């Protein structure tokens, strides 16, 4: 869409049927109402930390009022371009070099706002502004690369130290858990071993008690004494055959070949023990301990003499 202004009267001609008076009226300005793209030339700007940059950009604008664009300014595109350059230098002077690269969007928005405030009286509206390229000096570029490399080395060192720390923590935690599990396993083993030993002792005691009960019952039956004599004789022969096998110290009776006398002596000791009186109170046992022992020894000697004479 084109808008034309007539020289002389200053009338604005829009699309459609327009009547002009010859000689008096003629078309002086032709303005396009489409969006216009303008390349902003490269220019130098100094940042807040005194670094000189070379920056260029692209400006997008549209004529909103053709009459103001025709009579408010001589060359609207040139005026907007110069305004964009000066605004960009002013905005870059407020930022450091690092923030220029991080805040390009906010920088573009600030330039657009500044242009719209100044170009309102020209009938022009800036739609957006984009920075194309930012060129830094070679030395500054080398410094930035060195800074980036140093930052990367720092991050690598930090990550490596964190990895070492995590590895040490994991190893220590693993050793701790291993020690805990080992102690628990040892504790459970000791508990099971103690329970097994207790069960074995109890089973042996029960078996021994049952054997004693059966032996006592057998001794009370007919020919029980004869069976006991036979068992003592067998054990004597078995023990005599094992003499001097386990150690060099041997204890022999006065007549080792007389099995009958040894059996008779053992049965006499057994009979003396079974006929010995049992004390009824603990105090009597403690007070007359020596007298009972002497009496028992005397009775045993008499019984042994009687067995020998028989």
The per-residue pLDDT for range 46-87, each reduced to its tens digit, is 888 888 888 888 989 888 888 888 887 788 888 888 888 888
Higher model confidence: residue 212 or residue 269? 212
Q: Supply the pLDDT for residue 178.
A: 92
Tell me the CA distances in angstroms from 66 to 14, 70, 82, 83, 112, one per residue in order.
10, 6, 20, 19, 20
In 10 A of CB 120, how many CB atoms? Answer: 14
Q: Supply the pLDDT for residue 284.
A: 41
Could you tell me the residue ranges of all domains in the chain?
35-136
CA separation for the pair 229, 212 (Å, rounded): 16
Average pLDDT, the chain: 75
CA separation for the pair 18, 20 (Å, rounded): 7
Is the pLDDT confidence value at 310 over 60?
Answer: no
Most confident of 36-50, 112-126, 158-172, 252-266: 158-172
Instruction: Note if the pTM is more than 0.75.
Output: no
Higher model confidence: residue 173 or residue 306? 173
Average pLDDT of the segment spanning 32-56: 86
CA separation for the pair 1, 3 (Å, rounded): 7
pLDDT band at 292 (very low <50, low <70, confident <90, very high): very low
Q: Supply the pLDDT for residue 171.
A: 92
Tell me, rounded to whole angstroms, the distance of Cα 63 from its chain centroid. Answer: 64
pLDDT band at 286 (very low <50, low <70, confident <90, very high): very low
In 10 A of CB 63, how many CB atoms? Answer: 21
The per-residue pLDDT for range 162-171, each reduced to its tens digit, is 999 999 999 9
The per-residue pLDDT for range 86-138, each reduced to its tens digit, is 888 888 888 888 888 888 888 888 888 888 888 888 888 888 888 888 888 88
CATH match of 35-136 with 3.90.180.10? no
Q: Supply the pLDDT for residue 76.
A: 82
CA separation for the pair 47, 84 (Å, rounded): 17
Nearest Cα to Cα of residue 88 among 104, 74, 71: 104
Q: Supply the pLDDT for residue 287.
A: 43
Nearest Cα to Cα of residue 46 among 136, 131, 111: 136
Write down the residue that tokens 């002792």 correspond to. Answer: 201
Nearest-Å Rg of the Cα atoms of the chain is 62
Strands 2-7 and 26-32: antiparallel
pLDDT band at 291 (very low <50, low <70, confident <90, very high): very low
The per-residue pLDDT for range 9-30, each reduced to its tens digit, is 445 555 556 666 676 666 677 7
Q: Supply the pLDDT for residue 283.
A: 42
CA separation for the pair 40, 126 (Å, rounded): 13
């Amino acid at each position: 869409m084109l808008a034309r202004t007539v020289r002389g009267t200053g009338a604005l001609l829009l699309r459609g049927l327009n009547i002009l008076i010859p000689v008096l009226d003629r078309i002086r300005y032709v303005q396009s109402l489409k969006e216009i793209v303008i390349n902003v030339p490269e220019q130098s700007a100094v940042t807040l930390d005194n670094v000189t940059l070379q920056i260029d950009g692209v400006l997008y604008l549209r004529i909103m009022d053709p009459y103001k664009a025709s009579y408010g300014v001589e060359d609207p595109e040139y005026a907007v371009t110069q305004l964009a350059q000066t605004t960009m230098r002013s905005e870059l002077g407020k930022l450091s070099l690092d923030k220029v690269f991080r805040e390009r969007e906010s920088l573009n928005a600030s330039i657009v706002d500044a242009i719209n405030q100044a170009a309102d009286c020209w009938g022009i509206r800036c739609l957006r502004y984009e920075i194309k390229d930012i060129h830094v000096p070679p030395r500054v570029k080398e410094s930035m690369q060195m800074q980036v490399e140093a930052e990367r080395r720092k991050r690598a060192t930090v990550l490596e130290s964190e990895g070492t720390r995590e590895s040490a923590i994991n190893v220590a935690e693993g050793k701790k858990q291993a020690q805990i599990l080992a102690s628990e396993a040892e504790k459970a083993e000791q508990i099971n071993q103690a329970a097994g030993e207790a069960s074995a002792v109890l089973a042996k005691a029960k078996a021994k008690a049952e054997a004693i009960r059966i032996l006592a019952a057998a001794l009370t039956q007919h020919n029980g004494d004869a069976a006991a004599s036979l068992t003592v004789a067998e054990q004597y022969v078995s023990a005599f055959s094992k003499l001097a096998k386990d150690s060099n110290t041997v204890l022999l009776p006065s007549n080792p070949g007389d099995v009958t006398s040894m059996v008779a002596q053992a049965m006499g000791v057994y009979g003396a023990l079974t006929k010995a009186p049992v004390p009824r109170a603990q105090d009597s046992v403690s007070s007359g301990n020596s007298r009972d022992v002497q009496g028992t020894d005397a009775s045993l000697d008499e019984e042994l003499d009687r067995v020998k004479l028989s």
